[in-house]
Structures are given as structure tokens and as C-alpha cells.
Amino acid sequence: MISGGINDSSALFGLKNLESLNLAENKFSSIPISSRFGSLASLSYMNLSNSGFSGQVPGELSQLTRLEILDLSEPFSFGVRSLRLEKPNLSTLVQNLTRLRGLYLDNVNISAQKLDWSQGLSSSLLNLEVLSLSNCQLSGPLDDSFGELQSLSVIRLALNKLSSPVPGFFANFKNLTVLNLASCNLTGRIPDSICNATYLRVLDLARNNLTGRIPKCLIEFGGSLEVLDLANNRLTDQTKGTFPSTCGLNFLDLRGNSMEGKISRSLVNCTMLQVLDIGNNRMNDTYPCYLGNLANLSILVLSNNRFHGSVQCPPSQHNNWSMLQIVDIAYNEFSGTIPDNFFLQWGAMMTDERSGKKPLSFTAIDISSNRFSGVIPETIGQLKALILFNVSHNEFTGSIPQSMGNLSQLESLDMSRNKLTGNIPSSFTSLNFLSTLNLSYNQLEGRIPFSTQLQSFEKYSYIGNNGLCGAPLDRACNSSEYIW
């Protein structure tokens, strides 16, 4: 990593035959990009991304007529963008760069209207294969001239203000593999014609204002489509399509729409699926035991729907979710008891630092705000890699499992608003990473076990348990309430 800066007298600018330059991931202390980079006329590859440059992108870069790859992208920031491309603007920069195959300007402040950027690209960059202009303050709608860039295989325009329907001309992009138009103020329906891009692998239209159904052809797309993200739109109904036996999806996010009905049973054909998120909809279905063959599933989110019934799966539908590391079924209408083997299905959460395996980045089980009853199985203590556990707002009874002291990685625990009885297990003194605890409004009693961690929480972590005593509560314990 290089820090400091590159001044105009640097020996770098004497390398007239230099063809490839990569200065990415350095720390150049918010210095401008030197205009002398434009003198490196032999460059075909230049990468200055994520290196701390700031200010106006110099117009001299337009002299690099042999460039095939130009990457000036910056890290995402909610604040002021470091780099600007205003005078000269984007059209001026690329007018001579006719050999460009890849243009990466993510998070550079371009602040251009539709004709100022889309026509500039289409008039100069007919060989362009990758266009990445996310979060560049671009305004739309996309001009029809953009449809002339039919060599494009990757289009990333997320976090701009395109304010238009999804353009139909993408259907003519026969080489298109990635289309990311997330957070672009898109409106209207998703056009069926999008499926004419038969090599599409990633389609991200999340966080827009799209309405209507998911096109049937998207569900029936087949092997190439790996990522389908339509989260946080206004899609109102599920399509009648069937996921084919050739389904290649590994990521399906339909969260935050208004879809009703049941999960398509044909989703069992998507055996490569790793992420399934249909939270915050109006789905009315039972626990998806029928998806038990999805052995690669690592994230399952069903929260904020109308799922109901038991989570007990019949022997004929025994699930193989050994890779699951996030399970969120909160805010539904599930009921009944938690079977002893419920937690034992999720082998990925059983590993810990002593197993020799790479630790998981995050693990969570959230079954809060349902109608579960009965005891919490002692088998929960086998999930030694668990970081977050939330069973609040249910009707659990009995004691808190002593085995929970084995959850050595646990950082957040919420068991509030149940009917739990007995003492807080003495094993809780082993939960050294616990930073959030809520045991309030149960029927717990006895002395709060003494440990640096348990006494560090505020009183509200324990309120509503009239039988509890000891710090941090004001109620002192008498001798019969001590746990020995």
C-alpha cells in the first residue's frame, strides 16, 4: 500500500511504454488525479480505484486512446463524493476512448441528465462490455440511444435517479449477464421482454416502485439465472410460473412486496438456492418442510407474513438444511411446541473456534412474535456458533435451558414476554460476548447469577420478573434466594 501522493514530477510519468497500471487500494490523502496520467499514451489498462483521490477527473485522461479498461471507482459513501466528473463531463472524457471495454466510475459524482451521459456513451463506446456507474447522481429516464450499446454484458446503474419504467431495449442485449438497476426510482411493470436476454445471470431491480406480477418467464428462466432480487417494490401477486428442473437460482429475494398466497412448491427444483428471503409480504402458508431438499440453503427469511401451524416436519419431509446460518421466521402465526430436533438440523451453527473450521460471519435464529408454547429444547445448547437468539413474544414455559451456557459466541439474547419460570441458569456466567440481553416480563425468580457481564446490563433487561433479586436490580436477595 502506498500513502502520501504522486506529484507531477514522479518518475512514473516517464514510463511511456507502460501498458498496464494498477494503483488500486492505496491511500493518496485526498490528492487530485494528476493530469500527467494522460501522457501515458500506451496504457490499455488503468485502475486507480479506492485510492483516496479527490477533485475533478482530469480531461487529459481522454488522450489515452488505447485504453480498454478504466477504473476510477470509489467506495460507497452517504456524504460528499471525493471524485467529480463535471468539467469535463462524462461525454468529453470518453469521446476518444473508443477501445474501452470496461468503464468503472462507481460513486464518482457525475451529476448528469439523460442526454448528457447516455448519448455520450452510445456515440463513443460501441465496444463497451462492462458499464459500472452506480451512485453517480445520474438522472433519467434512460435515453433510447443507450440501447445502441449492445455489446454490454454487465450493466450496473444502481442508486441513480432514472425515474422511468424498465426499458424494453434491454431485450436486445444478447450478451447481457448482469443487470443492476436497484434503487433507481423505476416504475411500472417488469417487462416480459427482459427474458430475451437469455444469458442473464444477475437481475437486481430491488428498492424501486415496480408493480404487478413477476413475469412468468423469469420464474421459468432456467439454468443461467443465479440471482433474482426484486425486494422492496410494490409487486402485488405471485406469478403462475413454475421453477424448472434446470433452475440455477442461488439467491432469491422478494422481501418487502405485497405478495399473497403460498410459496411455489416448484421451488424445490432450485437445489442450488442459498438465500431465500420472502419477508414482509402477505404470504399465507405453512412451515416449508417441502423445501427440505435445498441442502445449500444458508439464509431463510419468512418474517412478517401469515405463516401458521407447527414447525414439526413429518418424517417423509425431513429437511437437509445443514448449511443454515440465519433463520428468521418472526412475526408470523406459528404455534405449538418446538421439537427437540428442530435446532439439530442446522449443523453450520454447531461449529465453534475449536473445531478448526472457518468461523461463520453471522448466525441468527429469530422465532419471536409467534404463538409457540412449551419448553425451549435443551438442544439449543449445541449451536455453539450462534450469535443472535430471539424467542421473545411467545408463550414458552418451563425453565431456561442450562445448556445455553454453551453458546460461547452469543452476543444478543432476547427471551422477553414469555412465561418462563425458575432461575436464570448459572451457566449464563460463561456468556462472555453477550452485549444485548432481555429477559423481561417472564416469571423468573432467584438471584441473578454474578458475573461481570450479567451485572453490566440495565434494569430493564430483567424487569417484570417479580421473583428476581440481586444486582443490577434494587431488590436484595435473602439467603434462601442465593444460587450455590
Fold adopted by 1-8+17-164: 3.80.10
Report the DSSP pairing between strands 154-156 and 130-132: parallel
Would you list the DSSP string of 104-150? E-TT-B----HHHHHHHHHHH-TT--EEE-TTS--B-SPPGGGGG-T
Peptide bond into 165 cis (omega under 30): no
What pLDDT does 82 receive? 82
Where do we find the cell 493530469?
35
Q: Are 380 and 388 within 8 A, CB to CB?
A: no
What pLDDT does 58 receive? 94
Which of 301, 243, 242 is CA-nearest to residue 272? 243
Amino acid at the residue 422: G
Which of 196, 197, 229 is CA-nearest to residue 214? 229
Provide the H-helix boundaries in 5-84.
Answer: none
Mark the ranges of the chain whose per-residue pLDDT is less than 70: 1-5, 78-81, 238-239, 352-360, 480-484
Q: How far is CA 462 from CA 438, 471, 472, 476, in A?
A: 7, 10, 9, 14
Q: Would you kindly state where each structural domain of the chain is located, as residue ranges?
A: 1-8+17-164, 284-484
Q: Give 100-142 pLDDT, tens digit per residue.
A: 999 999 999 998 877 778 888 988 999 999 999 999 999 988 8
What pLDDT does 404 receive? 97
User: What is the C-alpha to C-alpha distance for residues 204 and 253, in angstroms, rounded to an integer?
Assistant: 9
Q: Are 167 and 190 within 8 A, CB to CB?
A: no
Contacts of 374 (CB under 8 A, 6+ apart): 336, 337, 338, 396, 397, 398
Amino acid at the residue 29: S
Where do we find the cell 438522472?
139
Residues 98, 100, 103: CA angle, nearest 5 degrees: 130
Q: Are 376 and 398 within 8 A, CB to CB?
A: yes
Instruction: Note whether 1-8+17-164 and 284-484 share their fold.
Output: yes
CATH number for the segment(s) 284-484: 3.80.10.10
Query: In this structure, which long-range contacts are made by residues 271-275, counting pairs with CB atoms below 8 Å and at least 24 apart in sequence?
Result: 271/247, 271/295, 271/296, 272/226, 272/247, 272/248, 272/296, 273/249, 273/297, 274/250, 274/298, 274/299, 274/323, 275/250, 275/251, 275/299
- Please give the model's pTM, rounded to 2 decimal places: 0.93
Q: Are 321 and 345 within 8 A, CB to CB?
A: yes
What pLDDT does 484 receive? 41
Q: Give 250-290 pLDDT, tens digit per residue.
A: 999 999 999 999 999 999 999 999 999 999 999 999 999 99
Radius of gyration over alpha carbons of the chain, in Å? Answer: 28
Q: Are 406 and 380 within 8 A, CB to CB?
A: no
Beta bridge partners of 445: 467
Q: What secondary structure letter does DSSP report for 42?
A: T
User: What is the C-alpha to C-alpha distance for residues 343 and 378, in angstroms, rounded to an integer?
Assistant: 10
What pLDDT does 482 receive? 52
Q: Are 370 and 394 within 8 A, CB to CB?
A: yes
What pLDDT does 133 receive? 96
Contacts of 152 (CB under 8 A, 6+ apart): 128, 129, 130, 131, 173, 175, 176
What pLDDT does 4 receive? 59
Would you list the DSSP string of 417-453? SSEEEEPPPGGGGG-TT--EEE--SSEEEEEPPP-TT
Amino acid at the residue 74: E
Please report which helix (H) or strand (E) contains residue 92, including its range.
Answer: helix 90-94
Q: Residue 196 in 3-state DSSP?
A: helix
User: What is the C-alpha to C-alpha distance for residues 133 and 209, in angstroms, rounded to an integer?
Assistant: 21
Q: Give 159-198 pLDDT, tens digit per residue.
A: 999 999 999 899 889 999 999 999 999 999 999 999 999 9
Phi then psi for residue 270, to 5 deg, are: -90, 70
